């Protein structure tokens, strides 16, 4: 993935302290999608009301920080540091982290549950593939296999993991049958 444009929402020249603040950053990638992330300085992270906790949460603050929306932590709010952080997050795993941080505040519970269910289904499938010695690379697969049909741009066909597991099981059973026939 390549970055087409980075737009820092805050006028960095007009801020009082580059070491204590935050800004939204809009990143347009080569897929023409614009992702929004928040960059936060270390000092702001440690002192901001946003990151302060309730009295109930304060009892545990020594042991852990409670969940908050994901932010990119930077030492200072300078264009150079922010752009370096954005480039790093876009480069890692082909944009995974920018997409993850962008969705971190927006993904709804239903979508998250579907993705979680598919992740567990994939883990079960991977286990079955390894147990049955099936010749595929399950690590190259994704949680969702979308195939756009040629007769309709909007039609999306989904081969679910139940189908994949069924095919894997058939292939394993066929391999056993062939091996038994060969041994006769």
DSSP string, 80-140: HHHHHHHHHHHHGGGGHHHHHHHHTTT--HHHHHHHHHHHHHHHHHHHHHHHTT-SS-GGG
- Residue 157 belongs to what domain range? 109-183
Residue 181 has a pLDDT of 72
Residues 97 and 17 in one domain: yes
Residues 128 and 97 in one domain: no
Residues 95 and 12 in one domain: yes
Question: Domains in the chain: how many in total?
Answer: 2
Residues 141 and 165 in one domain: yes
* pTM for the predicted model, two decimal places: 0.64
Residue range 6-63, pLDDT digits in tens: 999 999 999 989 999 999 999 999 999 999 999 999 988 877 766 665 666 555 555 6
Which of 64-68, 139-143, 150-154 is predicted most confidently?
A: 64-68
Among positive and negative, which fits the CA dihedral 89, 90, 93, 98? positive
């Amino acid at each position: 993935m390549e970055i087409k444009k980075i737009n820092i929402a805050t006028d960095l020249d007009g801020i009082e302290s580059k070491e204590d603040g935050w800004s939204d950053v809009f990143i347009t990638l080569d897929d023409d999608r614009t992702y929004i992330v928040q960059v936060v300085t270390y000092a702001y992270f440690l002192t901001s009301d946003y990151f302060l906790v309730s009295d109930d949460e304060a009892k545990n603050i020594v042991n852990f920080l409670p969940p908050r929306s994901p932010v990119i932590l930077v030492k200072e709010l300078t264009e150079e540091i922010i752009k370096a952080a954005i480039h790093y997050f876009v480069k890692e795993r082909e944009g995974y982290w920018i997409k993850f941080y962008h969705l971190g505040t927006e993904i709804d519970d239903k979508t998250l549950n579907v993705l979680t269910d598919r992740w567990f289904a994939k883990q079960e499938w991977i286990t079955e593939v390894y147990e049955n010695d099936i010749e595929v690379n399950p690590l190259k697969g994704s949680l969702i296999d979308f195939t756009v049909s040629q007769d309709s741009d909007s039609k999306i066909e989904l081969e679910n993991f139940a189908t994949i597991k069924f095919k894997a099981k058939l292939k394993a059973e066929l391999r056993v049958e062939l091996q038994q026939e060969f041994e006769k």
